[in-house]
């Protein structure tokens, strides 16, 4: 892909959508569980790499960046990373640092990612509805699609930012195919939370935090 800070990720996903829109629709029709949207992008970071994370909006503008994350696991399906006291920069230039260790789980074939935050009262989860992640120019990139799900240690959850999603899908002209994917992937995410699967499995965050601590 040609050089371009903010446009690399949006151009990639728009081209991916154009090539695969029919395939995506048929996958959802053919797969009753609607669990996965497969991409063929094979470039992945190496375990031990320390790389930044960039979040964009559908219009190509930067949304939020994290200055570094250490890669603990990397495959064509998911990337697991960790960070603590990470510098975060918002789209308006405001900067702040995270205050607790966090394990981040990025899917390369699902339309959400999960941040597991280790706090004194247990593991809290913050889930972002987003495009699958893209590893490009030594940066993990994804498009944030507004909707979030907050999960507390007893696994009760709350869907956030629904009004923002309704506003942005009109302002930024989210394609119908993307809206359909997001609705179904939200159901997949909620199912994972209820079943305590993947990053929600008991002990998952603590295991990877211990791996991160030992790797320092």
Whether residue 64 lies in the annotated active site? yes
pLDDT tens by residue, 37-59: 334 445 899 999 999 999 999 99
Q: Write down the mean pLDDT value for the chain.
A: 86
pLDDT tens by residue, 178-211: 999 999 999 999 999 999 999 999 999 999 999 9
Tally of CB atoms within 10 A around 80:
23
The pLDDT value recorded for residue 216 is 76
Q: Average pLDDT of 31-40?
A: 40
5: which 2 tokens? Answer: 């800070």
Res 135 pLDDT > 50: yes
Kindly indicate whether the domain formed by 7-215 is annotated with CATH number 2.40.380.10.
yes
E strand residue ranges, 131-213: 134-136, 139-151, 157-160
Residue 133: phi and psi, rounded to 5, are: -75, 155
**Which residue among 20, 64, 94, 213 is the active-site one?**
64
Question: pTM, whole model, 2 decimals?
Answer: 0.82
Q: 109 vs 125, which has greater pLDDT?
A: 125
Residue 34's pLDDT band (cuts 50, 70, 90): very low
Residue 174: phi and psi, rounded to 5, are: -60, 130
Residue 14's pLDDT band (cuts 50, 70, 90): low
pLDDT tens by residue, 59-113: 999 999 999 999 999 999 999 999 999 999 999 999 999 999 999 999 988 999 9
The pLDDT value recorded for residue 65 is 98
Q: Average pLDDT of 16-25?
A: 42
Of all residues in the chain, the percent with pLDDT exceeding 70 is: 81
What gap in Å lies between CA 8 and CA 155, rounded to an integer?
36
Tally of CB atoms within 10 A around 104:
27
**Residue boundaries of the structural domains of the chain:** 7-215
């Amino acid at each position: 892909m040609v050089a371009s800070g903010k446009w690399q990720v949006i151009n990639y996903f728009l081209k991916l959508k154009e090539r695969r829109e029919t395939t995506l629709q048929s996958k959802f029709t053919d797969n009753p569980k609607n669990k996965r949207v497969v991409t063929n992008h094979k470039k992945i970071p190496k375990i031990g790499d320390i790389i930044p994370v960039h979040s964009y909006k559908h219009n190509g503008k930067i949304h939020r960046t994290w200055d570094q994350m250490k890669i603990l696991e990397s495959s064509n399906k998911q990337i697991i990373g960790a960070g603590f006291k990470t510098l975060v920069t918002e789209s308006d230039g405001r900067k702040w640092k995270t205050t607790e260790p966090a394990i981040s789980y990025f899917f390369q074939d699902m339309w959400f990612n999960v941040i597991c935050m280790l706090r004194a009262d247990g593991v809290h989860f913050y889930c972002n509805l987003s495009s699958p992640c893209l590893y490009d120019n030594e940066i993990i990139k994804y498009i944030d699609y507004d909707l979030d799900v907050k999960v507390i240690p007893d696994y009760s959850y709350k869907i956030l930012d629904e009004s923002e999603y309704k506003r942005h899908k009109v302002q930024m002209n989210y394609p119908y195919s993307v809206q359909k994917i997001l609705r179904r992937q939200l159901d997949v995410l909620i199912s994972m939370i209820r079943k305590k699967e993947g990053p929600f499995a008991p002990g998952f965050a603590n295991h990877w935090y211990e791996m991160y601590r030992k790797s320092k």
